[in-house]
Chains A and B, each alone.
Chain A
Amino acid sequence: MVEENGKQDETASETSKKKAPAVSSEKIAVVLRNVGNAPILQKQKYNVDKNKTVKWMSNWIKGKLKLQENEQVILYIAQQFAPPIDQHVGNLFDCFGTNDKLVVQYATQPAWG
């Protein structure tokens, strides 16, 4: 599926300019919220390819937060549930998306000990 204006976003960082309709685009709108002591991201809203996995998103956020190698990012949806890491974000959007977006909370788990 090609996006309406013919441009393919490689990164997930160009969003607020164009609000792609939730149905026709291959991307879904995600809003990232920090949990507890996790650092706050400069930018919270992204369009993410719906085939990306939870694992991909965790690593991507980890990179954005510049975490250490042995720290983890854990994602939560519906404010309670850590989805399986091989789950596609598109599935999560279908189940839990509201108002055309998926709210994802992220927690960081520091190195143990």
Chain B
Amino acid sequence: MTGTLTEERFKEQCEALVAFSDKINDGWEMRRDLDDIYIVKKVKLPVVFRDDNNKNPGVPANTISVKEAESDDDSSEDQITLEDSDPCPFSPSSHLVTFEYHVVYSTSYTVPVLYFNAWFSTGKLLTVEEVWKLAPPCSDRYSYITQIEHPILARPFYELHPCRTEQLMGQMGSSEGDTYLVSWISSMGRDVGLSLDVRYAMSGT
């Protein structure tokens, strides 16, 4: 069962996804570069970096509920600054990280590919080690998240290697229908903080 997607279907599904995103104010944007289109989403998330002793095994990278803050402020995500928390990125305290996700079609793999960058509120980009800490410890994150040149923008982004995509999406058998992109984003994004609102699955997008 093929796990690939034609470029034409990719474009159609991007348009449908962005149209629905506009309805629910979810922030996906369409970008065009000559004949290529890709979609982009920017989001700020409080992130807890697991330390190597796995003290926070149950905390997903995209958790919205901030773990017990050191301060007694009515600390919403927005109030966390690096000055308040332990500046060491490997500590278990929360950091507000801006993520920018790009979904770009790969003509060589004939699947979408997820690129992203992430930076702290100071503007400092996350290092590759910090990015690896975002993915669940059980997955082989060192191999499949790498830093690479964005195929359209030609500047460094982190990339989720498309090798896993065909294998996983092949199991879902959604190449024929209209649901590939929704399946794909919800599957691939979960390791790096990108979640998809359940309403996309209800929209018939």
Q: Give the interface of A toward B (CB within 8 A).
A: 35-38, 55, 69-72, 74, 76-87, 91-92, 95-96, 107, 109, 111-113
Q: In the complex the two chains form, what is the Cα distance from A72 to B167 in whole Å?
A: 13
With beta carbons under 8 angstroms apart, the residue of A38, A76, A85 that contacts B183 is A76
Identify 14 residue pairs between A and B in the complex whose beta-carbon atoms are under 8 Å apart, listed by A's number: A55-B58, A70-B138, A72-B136, A74-B190, A76-B172, A76-B183, A78-B201, A80-B183, A84-B62, A84-B195, A85-B190, A87-B198, A107-B168, A107-B172
Chain B 55-84 interface residues, beta-carbon cutoff 8 Å to A: 58, 60, 62-64
Which 6 A-B pairs have CB atoms at the shortest separation, nearest pair first?
A36-B171, A81-B201, A84-B195, A80-B179, A82-B186, A112-B140
Q: In the complex the two chains form, what is the Cα distance from A28 to B163 in whole Å?
A: 36
Interface of A, secondary structure class, is: loop
With beta carbons under 8 angstroms apart, the residue of B1, B143, B179, B182 that contacts A112 is B143
A49 to chain B, nearest CB (A): 16
Q: In the complex the two chains form, what is the Cα distance from A109 to B164 in whole Å?
A: 8
A74 with B187, Cβ < 8 A, contacts A80-B172, A113-B140 known: yes
A62 nearest in chain B by CB position: B138
Residues of the A chain whose Cβ atoms lie less than 8 Å from the Cβ of B64: 86
Known: A35-B172, A78-B201. 8 other contacts (CB 8 A): A76-B172, A82-B183, A82-B190, A84-B196, A87-B198, A96-B198, A107-B172, A113-B143
Residues of the A chain whose Cβ atoms lie less than 8 Å from the Cβ of B164: 109, 112
A13 to chain B, nearest CB (A): 22
B168 to chain A, nearest CB (A): 6
Residues of the A chain whose Cβ atoms lie less than 8 Å from the Cβ of B195: 84-85
A81 with B140, Cβ < 8 A, contacts A35-B172, A91-B198, A112-B164 known: no
B203 to chain A, nearest CB (A): 10
